[in-house]
Amino acid sequence: MRDRKKSIGLAFPDYIGFEQHTRRRYSDNQNNEKQMRSVLLLICLIVGIGILFLRLIFLQLFQGSYYKNLSDTNRIRTSVVHAPRGIIFNRNGVPLVFNVPGFRTVVNGKTVLLGRETAISLIANGKKDIEVDSLRQYPFKEVFSHVLGYIGQISKEELSLTPFSSYESGELVGKMGIEKEYEKILKGTDGKKLAEVDAMGKEIRTLGQTDPIPGENITLTLDSKLQQAAFLAMEKVKKGVVIVSTPQGEILVLLSKPSFDPNLFTLGENYKTDQESSYKNISEALLDSENQPFLNRAISGTYPPGSTFKLITAATGLEDKVIDQNYEVTDNGVLQIGAFSFANWYFTQYGKTEGQVNVVKAIKRSNDIFFYKLAEEVGVERLSQKAKAFGLGERLGIDLQGEEKGIVPSDEWKKKAMGEPWYLGDTYHYGIGQGYLLTTPLQVNAWTQVIANGGMLYQQHLLASSKLKIQSSKLISDKTRELIRQGMIEACLTGGVAWPLFEFKVKNSKFKVDGNNFLEAPQATTSANFSDYRKVSIACKTGTAQHGGEQTLPHAWITLFAPAYDPQIVVTVLVESSGEGSNVAAPIAKKVLEEWFGRQ
């Protein structure tokens, strides 16, 4: 130790050697801590890189397609290319509805149709979700509204139904009439368009497009000019119906009033109706609960048919051999049963009687006394059975939704419905088309067809391609038909009740005078073209149906076919609460006949 001190020198004490040893140990610890921190940092770096790597693998393998689609969505926009609906044509190829250029958008979950000017204005103000579409335009406006119907946004209730399982919310579907009945045929298949857009949503280019498939066109049995003539003839009528058909059930005219303009639903909010239109906007039509403009009275309205039903009463008596052409009833004006009296209209209005009445005269004069007694002879059960055979009490199957059955009463029906037995007075009322009996105007037209064609009840139809379907046949014999037809012919001649149709004639030289269907119609010698006129034979039956209280006017009816021996058309007219059939309904039917037979 001393030697070491000697070598170092006396200036340095002994503790210096300890200082040097202590400082060396401290430096080693510091190096170890640095090494540990480096290792930890390296480990954290490796773990972090590993996590990022695993995340990258996860995103690429498991969520790559999701983010790719998300990226594409930001730059690629898919839009629907709406398919135009099929066109509806009349029997002569005249379009009853058009597709016109237009637009649509969605406001508060509701599809709103837009006209061109409205759409341009909205686009100019920055609205972006406006789609190109075809708007449905009905050129005949109110004339065909009930039979054609209109389209509108599908409802939640409709979306839950099987026929609409492939539809989506916001789509436009038929809401009534032919548009609804043949929805599956008229509706096309929408296409799609892929377009690249910029950050502002502006389209840069089209990437691809699937073209829409238009709906199929359909042709109806309707006659446009005849329907228009019927509409004009009903110009002053508030509530009523005109039906014109062929004797085989093809519907030529199906008109119900009051009517509405279906363009209000399809041409956008800025569409303006004509001045003479019944309703200026949708709200007016929807809120008119008194007149019910959306009710298709031709198939959904039920009414007592009045004396038009006497045709079935007569057919029942003749077919069941209860009466024949020689059966007669004495008309004394009033039929007295106990404390109740049942009068003939002729006695009530004019105080006159008609003596001996057979079935032909009874139809000609619409004699109530005859049909009271005939109904009593036939009985309620046989009368109801025959009425059902003629199509009453059931739907006729026309290709429109909403058809009503009506009511064919019976003893059993009255007990269930009213808790009362059937009385003789009920039978009397039944025999003249009053009481509990209710029919649709279409049913009245159909049973008139049966007499016109000789005993066959056809399914009523509007689609021209429908095959004729006989629902019942041999309902009346030739002899029964001859007797009923003769009575109907005489009802339209002088001495009958349908006075507006007496000596009905038209100017049309194309009809050959045959002595039955078309007859000569001599004019005054001052008329240069008198030889061009033809008298047309008509077989008709009027009806005046009581309903409501004594202060309520009766329903006016007429049903007919012409020419009488080789019928071309069957016409039925109903005017609600208006008066007598001969005074109100017959003049309307006359105008329809003038249009049909006046065609060159």
Please enumerate in sequence order all residues whose Cβ is within 8 A of that of 80, keeping only pairs 6 or more positions apart, or say none.
131, 190, 191, 192, 193
Q: 553 pLDDT exceeds 90?
A: yes
Q: What is the pLDDT of residue 10?
A: 43
Q: 46-55, 72-81, 384-393 — which one is most confidently predicted on average?
A: 384-393
CA dist., res. 406 & res. 312, Å (int)? 16
Q: What is the pLDDT of residue 324?
A: 97
User: Pairing between strand 539-545 and 555-562?
Assistant: antiparallel
Average pLDDT, the chain: 89
Q: What percent of the chain has pLDDT over 90?
A: 69
Query: Tens digit of pLDDT for each residue in 344-359?
Result: 999 999 999 999 999 9
Q: 25 pLDDT exceeds 60?
A: no
Buried b (16+ CB within 10 A) or exposed e, 420-443: eebeeebbbbbbbbbbbbbbbbbb
Q: Where are the alpha helices (DSSP H) in 89-131?
A: 116-124
Q: 136 pLDDT exceeds 60?
A: yes
The closest of 152, 398, 107, 103 to 262, measured between CA atoms, is: 152
The DSSP-derived string for 441-494 is HHHHHHHHHHHHHTS-EEPPB-BTTPPP-EEE---S-HHHHHHHHHHHHHHTST
pLDDT grade for 15, boundaries at 50, 70 and 90: very low
Query: Tens digit of pLDDT for each residue in 282-302?
Result: 999 999 999 999 999 999 999
Q: 318 pLDDT exceeds 90?
A: yes
pLDDT grade for 569, boundaries at 50, 70 and 90: very high
Residue 483 has a CB neighbour count (10 Å cut-off) of: 22
DSSP state of 438: B
| Domains along the chain with CATH numbers | 75-219 (3.90.1310.10), 300-597 (3.40.710.10)
Q: What is the pLDDT of residue 123?
A: 73
CB 266 within 8 A of CB 138: yes
Please enumerate in sequence order all residues whose Cβ is within 8 A of that of 386, keeping only pairs 6 or more positions apart, or say none.
312, 315, 316, 319, 320
Residue 172 has a CB neighbour count (10 Å cut-off) of: 24
Q: What is the pLDDT of residue 557?
A: 98
CB 299 within 8 A of CB 247: no
Query: Tens digit of pLDDT for each residue in 492-514?
Result: 999 999 999 999 999 999 999 99
Record the tokens describing residue 146, joined without a space.
């009930």
CB 122 within 8 A of CB 130: yes
Q: 232 pLDDT exceeds 90?
A: yes
- Provide the residue type at 132 as one letter: V
Instruction: Give this prediction's pTM.
Output: 0.85
Q: What is the pLDDT of residue 74?
A: 57
Largest CA distance in the chain: 177
Burial class of 311 by CB neighbour count within 10 A (0 to 12, 13 to 18, 19+): buried
- Residue found under tokens 């031709």: 298
Between these two residues, 38 and 521, which has the higher pLDDT value?
A: 521
pLDDT grade for 4, boundaries at 50, 70 and 90: very low
- Provide the residue type at 206 as one letter: T
pLDDT, average across residues 127-145: 88
CA dist., res. 356 & res. 376, Å (int)? 18
Record the tokens describing residue 170, joined without a space.
């916001």
CA dist., res. 491 & res. 291, Å (int)? 33
Q: 18 pLDDT exceeds 70?
A: no
Query: Tens digit of pLDDT for each residue in 97-112?
Result: 999 887 878 877 778 8
Q: What is the pLDDT of residue 2?
A: 45
CA dist., res. 61 & res. 1, Å (int)? 76
pLDDT, average across residues 460-469: 96
